[in-house]
Amino acid sequence: MERLRIWRIGLLISLVMILLAGCSGDPTLSVLDPKGSAAKIQLNLIYWSLGLMTVVFVIVITIFVYVLVRYRKRKGQDRMPEQVHGSTKLEIIWTVIPIAALIALAIPTVQYTFDLAEAPPAEETVIIDVTGYQFWWEFKYPQYGITTAQEVHIPVGKKILFRVHGKDVLHSFWVPSLGGKVDVVPGRVNTVILDAKEAGVYQGKCAELCGSGHALMDFKVFAKNQADFDKWKDQMKQPAPTVATTSSEANGEKIFQQNCIGCHAGVNPNIQGPNLNKFATRTTIAGVLPHNDENLKIWLRNPQSVKPGTLMPKIDYLNKDELNDLIKYLDSRK
């Protein structure tokens, strides 16, 4: 009877295992599918510790099941078990063996901890200053004089030094595919060194509760080959298009100047919104919606419905034409 119950649990757990075994998560988001050397090191340590711990678990469960089956009270039985006090030998065994196992775990742990903190040579490193705001990310490339938001582009194979700054509340900078996270602490600069082994778009997350919009504080990492990266860099360095080519764009620019510039070009130092200079190059709106005019309209009309808690006010006072002009203007920012 007891055996049957244990069976049931076993069946359940194995069912769950089978369900999960099929997938290892999304290749742009999963810790189990590393795309950078930091993530690889970390995954190695995860597997090593999981392996050791699984051995421990199997030992415990074997004894456990044996004991439950062998020593359960059977019908009509009334036996007086021997009142054993303990066994020094056994107790030493299960003290010493775990210590040995933990040492086997501690050595690579300490090694990796120091490895991951080691700064690469400065001349081969791309430096990116990351600032976390409620609820968006700003990326500055001090070496190239580029500022962008929500989307960060990196060259494949190069070490990237992310210098993480905080301005308001705690956030945490996390790109699971490339490596572990580091907290965004107001008043401090933390660093994390990551790289990408292959080109691709990797997803980034805020991992520290930072307010109502925490769940939607996403960003994207575009890992590109050096040539593509250089192309992107040059495009970003080009000055913003100054002359509006159509009249509706010109009108849109006027509306932008009147309504948006206070936050989106850093005029007001207390309220800082994302830099919209190259807005049309971004693949998302607010880091969550796919970039198209329809979504841009939704975002402008009611930002709170897209991202609760965002500081972006409702732009619902423009008429249809004005809104379209504004969108046209934004679309021209390449």
Contacts with another protein in 299-328 (CB under 8 A)? 308-309
Whose structure tokens read 């510790």?
Answer: 49
| Nearest distance, CB of residue 297 and another protein, angstroms | 19
d(CA 46, CA 44): 5
Site for another protein in 51-80 (CB under 8 A): 53-54, 56-57, 60-61, 63-64, 67-68, 71-73, 77, 79-80
25 binds another protein per the rule CB under 8 A: yes
| Nearest distance, CB of residue 9 and another protein, angstroms | 8
Site for another protein in 239-298 (CB under 8 A): none
- Of the candidates 203, 154, 208, the residue with the CA atom closest to the CA atom of residue 33: 203
**Binding residues with another protein: total (CB under 8 A):** 100
d(CA 4, CA 223): 52
β-pairing, 171-175 vs 179-184, is antiparallel
Whose structure tokens read 């050096």?
Answer: 226
Residue span binding another protein (CB under 8 A) among the ranges 40-48, 140-148, 223-231, 249-257: 40-48
Angle at which helix 320-331 crosses helix 247-259, to 10 degrees, equals: 100
32 binds another protein per the rule CB under 8 A: yes
Site for another protein in 161-190 (CB under 8 A): 166, 168-170, 172, 174, 176-177, 179-183, 185-188, 190
| Nearest distance, CB of residue 25 and another protein, angstroms | 3
Q: Which amino acid is at 89?
A: K
CA distances from 106 to 31, 45, 103 (A): 21, 10, 5
116 binds another protein per the rule CB under 8 A: yes
Residue placing its CB nearer to another protein in the complex, 21 or 122: 21
Residue 326 contacts residue 252 (beta carbons within 8 Å): yes
